[in-house]
Copies of this chain bind each other. A is one copy, B any other.
């Protein structure tokens, strides 16, 4: 179970309740009244726990699991050990997430405002927000209902956050308008001035960065990630985007809805990503490129051309994944031949 130092467990729940809240279906043999006490990974779960199988890579753990209940795709039910009560779902990980959230909902504290927070007199902070010690909220900033502003956070002048937003420790925002249910994690930097200057041997000339960062609803931005504000137009993060830690997003970048950007990836200025684009860790996308809806970019790739919708690209320079794999194999063979002829 999760360490009670850090996590407060709710429940228990009947298996039928978990089915309903997760959109899964009770298997015919499952006992709807079975009580479930907690969630746990396959290899740690016991008789009172519910677990999940999403990736067949873990089928052996599934077969050996002592979990009393499990969310599983119908195609894998035949491998279930005898004691398991099954919930069927075509998206077991999603269903598990909803179940886990019912056991461990986001903590809701009574709204409070630390005396050690510094809130400008002109800022509009909804009455039911929590503002923790060391937070600094600037002039004319607006924080919507049920917001949570963590310790040592800085909210710059004029910044707007919608309802139910959470900003974690030491993050900072400026020149930013955000929607509802937006999460900004520890140390993230939203709205810095960015890398705009004219090269000049006599001293580079700074170009004022006059745009904003526009953040849609349900966006989640990772720890120590940096998102520069626009240079003239805005930097835009579409609704539902998930951005991991230490990601760099340059000025004027536009992300469509639901993109997933893994850790340490970088997007240079004015790159445009469509909806539901996935970018792997440490990948780089050059400036002024267009990446189509649903495209997938492999980790560590270097993208220097546009990518069509739905395409899977990888390598450096990035190409369709099939071509990239061919290059890798061809080079490996060539090196082996050379190795032989040299040796």
Taking a contact as CB atoms under 8 Å apart, the answer to whether B140 and A136 are in contact is no
* A150 within 8 A of partner (CB): yes
Which of B100, B104, B116, B158 sits near A5, CB closer than 8 Å?
A: B158
Stretch at the interface among A24-32, A60-68, A75-83, A210-218: A210-218
| Main SS class of interface, A | loop
Taking a contact as CB atoms under 8 Å apart, the answer to whether A232 and B41 are in contact is yes
Contact with B along A1-14 (1 / 0, CB 8 A): 01101110000000
Measured between beta carbons, the chain B residues less than 8 angstroms from A200 are: 91, 94
Q: How many residues of A contact B (CB 8 A)?
A: 114
Taking a contact as CB atoms under 8 Å apart, the answer to whether B187 and A189 are in contact is yes
Taking a contact as CB atoms under 8 Å apart, the answer to whether B331 and A206 are in contact is no
Contact with B along A318-330 (1 / 0, CB 8 A): 0100010011111
* A114 within 8 A of partner (CB): yes
Which of B97, B195, B333 sits near A242, CB closer than 8 Å?
A: B195
A336 to chain B, nearest CB (A): 8
Q: Which of A151, A157, A233 has the most CB of B within 10 A?
A: A151
For A229, the closest partner residue in chain B by CB is: B6
A66 to chain B, nearest CB (A): 15
Please report the C-alpha to C-alpha distance between residue A5 and residue B323 in the assembled complex, in whole angstroms: 49
A328 to chain B, nearest CB (A): 7
